[in-house]
Amino acid sequence: MFKAIVSADTLRTTIDSVSVLVDECKIHLEEDGLSIKAVDPANVGMVDLELAAEAFESYEADGGVIGVNLDRLDSIAGMANADQLVEMELDEETRKLHIQIDGLEYTLALIDPDSIRQEPDIPDLDLPANVVIEGADIDRAVTAADMVSDHIALGVDEGDELFYVDAEGDTDDVHLELTREDLIDLTAGPAHSLFSLDYLKDMNKAIPNDGEVSVELGEEFPVKLHFETAEGLGEVSYMLAPRIQSD
Amino acid sequence: MFKAIVSADTLRTTIDSVSVLVDECKIHLEEDGLSIKAVDPANVGMVDLELAAEAFESYEADGGVIGVNLDRLDSIAGMANADQLVEMELDEETRKLHIQIDGLEYTLALIDPDSIRQEPDIPDLDLPANVVIEGADIDRAVTAADMVSDHIALGVDEGDELFYVDAEGDTDDVHLELTREDLIDLTAGPAHSLFSLDYLKDMNKAIPNDGEVSVELGEEFPVKLHFETAEGLGEVSYMLAPRIQSD
Amino acid sequence: MFKAIVSADTLRTTIDSVSVLVDECKIHLEEDGLSIKAVDPANVGMVDLELAAEAFESYEADGGVIGVNLDRLDSIAGMANADQLVEMELDEETRKLHIQIDGLEYTLALIDPDSIRQEPDIPDLDLPANVVIEGADIDRAVTAADMVSDHIALGVDEGDELFYVDAEGDTDDVHLELTREDLIDLTAGPAHSLFSLDYLKDMNKAIPNDGEVSVELGEEFPVKLHFETAEGLGEVSYMLAPRIQSD
């Protein structure tokens, strides 16, 4: 059983933060909210999302799991204005999701959850460095790095107490340093890892420019990006595996 | 003889409502205004447009017919701001239309009207159901239907007194019901027909979102869409032939 | 030695007025400002640009020459908001340009100036007619001419004291006349020349719509377009060779 009403804006933000990594996913409809775990086909990027029942106008669920095509759900939510409400109700028998937006009814065929790639075990890493940064600064770093290279190094300089971003291209380089003053918070520790820019660009699309992002880092370890959505009632964590340093 | 001055906005609206169906058309330059009848190459969609002399800043004509390439006329009108005036004068000898926009003179070669597809006889159907609806609701229904299918059913439920739109796709369905309260007006009658969405999408482009549209319907009959332009001084009727029901 | 700070807006305007003609250029870093001369590969269009030291927030140079890829410099400047400052400093040893925008550092590899096409000798023509016109009118004329033809005639009618633009297509024609009243200034003289529209369209992209442009013309002679940038602290001259009249 699942029956919920949510603002189109909240629904879209939720879908987008998962659809940057995968086309379809399982959604766990828990009593206290919904949760999604997914990993991309190459096993490089993972997402772990939770949206509390309080983020909805109304929410009723009893622990089922549905399989959803995210593109299609995004298009449906896209027909509503940001502040319009989207009503969803699961038909258990037909395995279809009935979606209503201001009188318009969309019947979405669900996907058999067993046919969807298995959900990842997201490792509980205890990373030595933690940076809290504005989303806009991540956007700036990723956009600049993309001009010169297809990978990007993130690191922390323990001595100078700063977070840095490095991208080295064939001819040009990009470098950004953010000191404790430029950051919202900094826990210095040994950290330097190289990542694929393609994944970070995708994750960046889902990161709100005006929100804060917690970035956990280590030496040649995955990076963990964490931010809130839906005015704090939703939480998204990305984990991105490092690339092996080429030099 | 033809000499007229009209706002760029009115000219563009007029052209667009015909150019969604055909690339070129005959324009009848009557004493009391201009009129256009056209049918698409597949004989599925027809348009019947009238624009009264009063919709122009000034208008003089004596009953001639010109053949016009609508794309080109649209591009010319597109160079003006919405509230700028477009002056047109026919040179009978050279069969060219002289168009002036704030000092800029464009000489448009006309097309021999005899080389343009014959104008349709638009049948005078007496359809049993009539729905008056906001343009924005047609836009919503067509956009949603397009997500699941390439055809769309329009109908009236006489018992429940409502207008409905149905689109059935291979996996997903879209359904919209508008009751007497949601509509501007409703004359119930037996009505259900299936239409090609491609045509309706094109016609929808020309329908003003904030205007009202009269929709006449029957059982497996053409649909007639009627709306006003140019603050009531222009009238556009579309007629769209039904598709044979596949099931 | 070169070290300068400039608004992103001024930097972009400067780059764009050269990049419409060439992909890379030499920049002369004089004590009193920078200057660029370039000619397109076909030797048809030339640009001569000067930007005074006063157009910069701060400026220090001693007469060097650098070779720059304009596309890349434009992308870098494009990362800043219009009113953000761009800091540039030349590393003489590595021949790289260090560019800083709000903490973000971009290292741009320069091009060996000797590998860049030679700078043109811009002829000092004494053309008989001079028209001072609003940039918006050039835009209008070029846009309209482009609808019918790939070349455009510019001329002055000495008797009627007007500047005219003519474009003759296979079927349609465009004609614009601007009298002394429509112009900012007019020095009449014998002038009529035909030009490639492609070049004029590119130059038009760099001409500010709300600025004034001086147009010098002769009979079958190049046209010289001159306008100011950076609130009068920058000057751009284009010279465009005429096409041989086809009729």
- State pLDDT tens for residues B177-207: 999 999 999 999 999 999 999 999 999 999 9
The Cα B170–Cα B176 span in angstroms is 18
Contact by Cβ (8 Å): B148, B169: yes
pLDDT band, very low/low/confident/very high, at B16 (cuts 50, 70, 90): very high
- Of residues C246 and A144, more confidence is placed in A144
Burial class (CB in 10 A: 0-12, 13-18, 19+), A32: exposed
Which residue range forms the structural domain that includes residue A41?
Answer: 2-115
The Cα C134–Cα C132 span in angstroms is 7
3-state secondary structure of B159: coil
Best residue in C106, C110, C112 for a mutation probing chain A (most A CBs within 10 Å): C106
What's the pLDDT tens digit per position in B96-109?
A: 999 999 989 999 99
Tell me the nearest-neighbour CA distance from B16 into chain C, angstroms: 18
Report chain C's mean pLDDT, rounded to a whole number.
Answer: 95
**Does residue B18 sit within a domain?**
yes
The Cα B67–Cα B50 span in angstroms is 16
The Cα C182–Cα A144 span in angstroms is 46
What's the pLDDT tens digit per position in B63-75?
A: 999 999 999 999 9
Chains that touch C (3 or more CB pairs under 8 A): A, B
> C151 is written with which tokens?
């070349």
Query: Which of B64, B84, B113 is where one domain is finished?
Result: B113
Tell me the nearest-neighbour CA distance from C186 into chain B, angstroms: 17
Q: What number of C-beta contacts closer than 8 Å exist between B and C?
A: 36
Q: Are residues A81 and A137 in the same domain?
A: no
Mean pLDDT of C38-58: 97
Between chains, do A182 and C107 touch, taking CB under 8 Å as contact? no
pLDDT surpassing 70 at residue A246: no
Mean pLDDT of B153-167: 97
Residues of B with CB under 8 A from a CB of A: 140-141, 143-144, 147-148, 171-178, 182
Tell me the nearest-neighbour CA distance from C90 into chain B, angstroms: 45
* pLDDT of C245: 63
Best residue in C138, C164, C172 for a mutation probing chain B (most B CBs within 10 Å): C172
pLDDT surpassing 70 at residue C172: yes
Mean pLDDT of C231-242: 97
Which chain B residues are Cβ-neighbours of A104 within 8 angstroms? Answer: 140-141, 144, 174-176
Q: Are residues B68 and B169 in the same domain?
A: no
Contact by Cβ (8 Å): C110, C68: yes
Chains that touch A (3 or more CB pairs under 8 A): B, C
Between chains, do B107 and C173 touch, taking CB under 8 Å as contact? yes
Q: Are residues B6 and B87 in the same domain?
A: yes
**Does residue C100 sit within a domain?**
yes
Q: With the C-alpha atoms ordered B174, B180, B181, B182, is the resulting torsion angle positive or negative?
A: positive
Best residue in C104, C107, C115 for a mutation probing chain A (most A CBs within 10 Å): C104
Best residue in B86, B95, B104, B107 for a mutation probing chain C (most C CBs within 10 Å): B104
Query: Which of A115, A144, A175 is where one domain is finished?
Result: A115
Residue A163 host element (H or E): strand A162-168
Q: Are residues C46 and C110 in the same domain?
A: yes
Strand ranges of the sheet holding C104-109, from the earlier edge strand across to the other edge: A191-196, A151-157, A162-168, A173-179, C104-109, C96-101, C85-91, C2-7, C58-61
**Does residue B196 sit within a domain?**
yes
pLDDT band, very low/low/confident/very high, at B245 (cuts 50, 70, 90): low
Tell me the nearest-neighbour CA distance from C125 into chain B, angstroms: 30
pLDDT band, very low/low/confident/very high, at B82 (cuts 50, 70, 90): confident
3-state secondary structure of A198: helix
What's the pLDDT tens digit per position in A43-57?
A: 999 999 999 999 999
The Cα C220–Cα A244 span in angstroms is 64
pLDDT surpassing 80 at residue C17: yes
Contact by Cβ (8 Å): A41, A127: no
3-state secondary structure of B192: strand
Between chains, do C175 and B107 touch, taking CB under 8 Å as contact? yes
The Cα A45–Cα A199 span in angstroms is 7
What's the pLDDT tens digit per position in B52-64?
A: 999 999 999 999 9
* pLDDT of A245: 63
* pLDDT of C192: 97
What's the pLDDT tens digit per position in A215-226?
A: 999 999 999 999
Cβ neighbours of B124 (radius 10 Å): 5
Contact by Cβ (8 Å): B53, B233: no
The Cα C134–Cα C207 span in angstroms is 10
Phi and psi angles of residue C48, each rounded to the nearest 5 degrees, phi first = -135, 110
Residues of C with CB under 8 A from a CB of B: 140-141, 143-144, 147-148, 171-178, 182
Termini Cα distance of chain C: 54
Q: Are residues B28 and B53 in the same domain?
A: yes
**Does residue B143 sit within a domain?**
yes
Which chain C residues are Cβ-neighbours of A148 within 8 angstroms? Answer: 106
Mean pLDDT of C131-160: 96
Which chain A residues are Cβ-neighbours of B147 within 8 angstroms? Answer: 72, 75-76, 79, 106
Which amino acid is located at A139 in the chain? D
What's the pLDDT tens digit per position in C32-41?
A: 999 999 999 9
Residue written as token pair 């960046």 = A204
Contact by Cβ (8 Å): B133, B102: no
Q: Are residues C23 and C97 in the same domain?
A: yes
Mean pLDDT of A14-20: 97
pLDDT band, very low/low/confident/very high, at B217 (cuts 50, 70, 90): very high
Q: Are residues B24 and B70 in the same domain?
A: yes
Tell me the nearest-neighbour CA distance from B133 into chain A, angstroms: 14
Contact by Cβ (8 Å): B77, B85: no
Between chains, do B172 and A105 touch, taking CB under 8 Å as contact? no
Q: Are residues B98 and B148 in the same domain?
A: no
Contact by Cβ (8 Å): C67, C119: no
Between chains, do C109 and A178 touch, taking CB under 8 Å as contact? no
How open is the CA angle B207-B6-B40, to the nearest 5 degrees? 40
Burial class (CB in 10 A: 0-12, 13-18, 19+), A118: exposed
Q: Are residues B176 and B86 in the same domain?
A: no
Query: Which of B56, B84, B113 is where one domain is finished?
Result: B113
Q: Are residues B58 and B155 in the same domain?
A: no
**Does residue B246 sit within a domain?**
no
Which chain C residues are Cβ-neighbours of A172 within 8 angstroms? Answer: 72, 106-109
Between chains, do B79 and C173 touch, taking CB under 8 Å as contact? no
CATH of the domain at C236: 3.70.10.10
Category of A55 on φ-ψ map: left (φ > 0), alpha (ψ -120 to 50) or beta:
alpha
Contact by Cβ (8 Å): C38, C237: no
Residues 6+ apart with CB under 8 A from A51: A10, A14, A33, A34, A35, A229, A230, A233, A234
Closest CA to B136 of B194, B183, B186: B183
Total domain count, chain B: 2
**Does residue C120 sit within a domain?**
no
Between chains, do C144 and B79 touch, taking CB under 8 Å as contact? yes
Q: What number of C-beta contacts closer than 8 Å exist between A and C?
A: 36
* pLDDT of B81: 87
Between chains, do C174 and B103 touch, taking CB under 8 Å as contact? no
* pLDDT of A83: 83
Q: Are residues B57 and B134 in the same domain?
A: no
Tell me the nearest-neighbour CA distance from A80 into chain B, angstroms: 9
Mean pLDDT of C147-154: 96
Instruction: List Cα–Cα distances, C231 to A125, C15, C55, in angstroms.
Output: 56, 16, 8
**Does residue B245 sit within a domain?**
no
Contact by Cβ (8 Å): C29, C61: yes
Burial class (CB in 10 A: 0-12, 13-18, 19+), B20: buried
* pLDDT of C81: 87
Residue C198 host element (H or E): helix C197-206
The minimal CB distance from C176 to the residues B75, B105, B107 is found for B105
Q: Are residues A6 and A111 in the same domain?
A: yes
Which chain A residues are Cβ-neighbours of B143 within 8 angstroms? Answer: 79
Mean pLDDT of B110-125: 94
Q: Are strands A85-91 and A96-101 parallel, antiparallel or unpaired?
A: antiparallel
Which amino acid is located at C238 in the chain? Y
The minimal CB distance from C104 to the residues A140, A171, A172 is found for A140
Tell me the nearest-neighbour CA distance from C107 into chain A, angstroms: 5
Residues 6+ apart with CB under 8 A from B123: B222, B239
pLDDT surpassing 70 at residue B247: no
The minimal CB distance from A109 to the residues B143, B171, B177 is found for B171
Provide the ipTM.
Answer: 0.88
**Does residue C178 sit within a domain?**
yes
Tell me the nearest-neighbour CA distance from C172 into chain B, angstroms: 5
Between chains, do C182 and B106 touch, taking CB under 8 Å as contact? no
Between chains, do B106 and C174 touch, taking CB under 8 Å as contact? yes
What's the pLDDT tens digit per position in C69-83?
A: 999 999 999 999 888
Closest-CA residue in chain B for C173? B107
Tell me the nearest-neighbour CA distance from A177 into chain C, angstroms: 7
pLDDT surpassing 90 at residue B38: yes
* pLDDT of C246: 54
Between chains, do C178 and B103 touch, taking CB under 8 Å as contact? yes
